[in-house]
Structure 1
């Protein structure tokens, strides 16, 4: 064999190796899972919210994968823990953006973290699915195109809903007790706007920082200003402090607390067991969007509960599903993402983002979604999807009707 023939043979071998490499790389790429990220507090004060979101997403992913996946591929969840820290959240988002197989990232409870991540999200064209953070600017932002989509509460609607409920109950002088964050400021705007529309006069706006250990001074000031009800915007740790401070007042001096839903993202009920006064003796209500105990669609609800109990066998009944709204929102969001992937026919983030605005209909857990997202509206829920709830004596979240004559409070 001469040198020329030897070179041809070597070239053929190299060519065949290259073809085989390309073939197997292509096959592996088509068979590799489509990744969904989760960036939430998984270990700090609002970890229950993060775990609830993870569970809702995992149940939807299992359901989709059992049915054959999407675009011929399975879905897989990758979880990162920001622990409520905005800088860590941005770090996590940059890491997700660097993973080619990640098509979207689910966020967590904290509006301040979500707000800090928006630049990074849009820099990398990363689809951001919001199952909890309620701050209006998370969605109503200046980015075009907007990559943030939410199935959750929007503060602009929550403020109007809560004000409407206290008016229906007969209260006229609400005081606002708000955390000093972007989420608190978002609620100040929505609540004061709703009060103005309804001719209510505020008994004052009182602020607190994360980590506060006593809110007695703010509550006394609100009562001295004539407050007959307290509207609270807090997450679990500070929510516990607010309710404890109210519990220390004599029974005749306590006023009802109507809270945003951030308190349900942690071990709120368990933390109130140390109070001298049981939580049942504090008139405490809060916003919710979903109850596994009173579902809109019983068959869909029961199917999810069966899957939940199979995957998490320590769950004896629907009563044991904690932070139910987080689970329900994440479940619906993952199914909506699946529909967008099918419409787009690709995992290209920009194409999937566009497809999310083109979903005509989806039979969800919370509702039947008709065009849930449009170019000018990326919030899938509105005031009609909200309810008030409270903890029962066993610590289970149950829907409740809020009335001024508290003896007549009753379940829906």
Structure 2
């Protein structure tokens, strides 16, 4: 009898331990985290906008999918590729971490691309534009982008400049992988229109005002009629202010990549200063600064205000591109997660989501457009498979006197206007 009681208590105790451990493990699996590995020190506006876009999209599902809570962890790589690598290593060590969103800078992604793909890191890119980012050297590709793709950006900027009558562009590019990839695509795009760059100059991050003035004088002396600029906000401020300080007869129009919009450019170069130059830059074809916002866009903006204490008005989103792309990309990720059955096993769930992203069944309504199969299985012969946007989604923009980014046109609108002109 005593033996029976002992065995009963032993098995009861063992059962309770098992149940407690099992429940604990299940509870642990009830939360996944998303890493945002971006530059919160130098390109703060872009990183905050991406953060706000992600949190707004998650708020639409009450931060839960299939009963699992999703949270966001911020990692500041300070535009340093080695620091970004450490953040990726921390992600791999975090059993609750499911995916990584990247930021504005391309160099950290270019430097760590092999590491990302080799370690099956599910990486979502809502800004960084360098063409090679989503083009893996092998069939294995874990990077998905919803942003401008420099394989097309140079072509778009070149097309718009040529349409405006420019024939002697000068390339002024930052000396990074991003700048070098733009050198290739811009030159190719210009060659297709029988236009050759009249010159090329490289600059480093942190370029000084005096050196910027020397470069600008040399560019003017070359006979150029427009500058194609590829750089970020800090260097954009330096070159534009240097241009403003030159005599008016020496100033040239600037057609820029969008890197200048990722920081505090509009604060460092005031509206009165910007009136002295002709500056336009590439964007994607949606803005909250629009009198004809759709119901969807109005609802997203209202939720953004509710979900982010720093947003009261569209102008409070300092780098709208980051918000828009991150919101749309998070919506696509949510749709992919809903298409599968999460298991609680991080590695298995990453693979399931990766497959679902390449095989989305239902359309996803975003701010830029409705996405129908935005991604497809990647191969070297399908090098656009992990690009959600195309050149038809691009536009040129400029800063308004109120420091707002105003869209000027899009490829589709210009195509339509050309058809009308030919009919007339």
TM-score (norm 1): 0.91
Instruction: Name the counterpart of 1:338.
Output: 334
State yes or no: 1:327 paired with 2:323. Answer: yes
2:356 partner SS: helix
Maintained 8 Å contact 1:125/1:147: yes
Q: 1:249-264, aligned counterparts within 5 Å?
A: 249-264=246-261
Partner residue in 2 for 1:76: 71
Compute the displacement of 1:179 (Å).
0.3
Q: Following TM superposition, by how much is the alpha carbon of 1:143 offset from its aligned partner in structure 2, in angstroms?
A: 3.8
**Take 1:401 and 1:9, find their aligned partners in 2: how far apart are those partners?**
78
Q: Does 1:281 align with 2:276?
A: yes
- 1:92 and 2:100 aligned: no
Alignment partner of 1:311 is 2:307: yes
- Residue matched to 2:213: 216
What displacement does 1:9 show?
4.1
User: Is 1:152 matched with 2:169?
Assistant: no
Structural mapping, 1:44-83, within 5 Å:
44-65=41-62, 69-83=64-78
* Distance change in 2, residues 1:112/1:296 (3 Å): farther
Question: Does the aligned pair in 2 maintain the 1:178–1:234 contact within 8 Å?
Answer: yes
Q: How far apart are the structure 1 equivalents of 2:95 and 2:139?
A: 22
Tell me, yes or no, if the aligned pair for 2:187 and 2:196 is still in contact at 8 Å: no
- Give the superposition deviation at 1:246: 1.1
> Could you give the per-residue CA deviations for residues 29-69 of structure 1, whole angstroms, max 9, x where no partner exists?
35x22221111011x22111110000000101111226xx3
Distance 1:295 1:127, change over 3 A: farther
SS of the counterpart of 1:65? coil
3-state SS, counterpart of residue 288 of structure 2: coil
Residues in 2 aligned to 1:131 and 1:159: alpha-carbon distance in whole angstroms? 18
Gaps of 5+ in 2: 411-424
Q: Is the 8 A contact 1:230 1:256 kept in 2?
A: yes
Q: What residue is the counterpart of 1:373 in the other structure?
A: 375
How many pairs align? 395
Q: Displacement of 1:74 after TM fit?
A: 2.4
**Distance between the aligned counterparts of 2:237 and 2:132, measured in 1?**
26
- Please give the secondary structure, in 2, of the residue aligned with 1:178: strand
Whether contact under 8 Å (1:152, 1:329) holds in the other structure is yes
Match of residue 189 from structure 1: 184
Cα deviation, residue 317, structure 1: 2.3
- Whether the 8 Å CA contact 2:39–2:103 is kept in 1: the answer is yes
SS of the aligned residue for 2:83 comes to: helix
C-alpha distance in 1 between matches for 2:67 and 2:291: 33
What is the TM-score with the length of structure 2 in the denominator?
Answer: 0.88
What's the counterpart of residue 34 of structure 2?
36
Which of 235, 238, 243 aligns to 2:240? It is 243
Match of 1:344, SS state, is coil
Partner of 2:418: none
Which residue of 2 is the match for residue 179 of structure 1?
174
Contact 1:297 1:365 in 2 (8 A): no
Determine if the alignment matches structure 1 residue 349 to structure 2 residue 344.
Answer: no
Contact 2:289 2:404 survives alignment (8 Å): no
Q: Give yes or no for the alignment of 1:231 onto 2:228.
A: yes
1:381 is displaced (CA, Å) by: 0.7
Identify the range of structure 1 (50-59 vs 288-297) with the bigger mean alpha-carbon deviation: 288-297
Query: Relative to structure 2, which stretch is displaced further, 161-170 or 364-373?
Result: 364-373
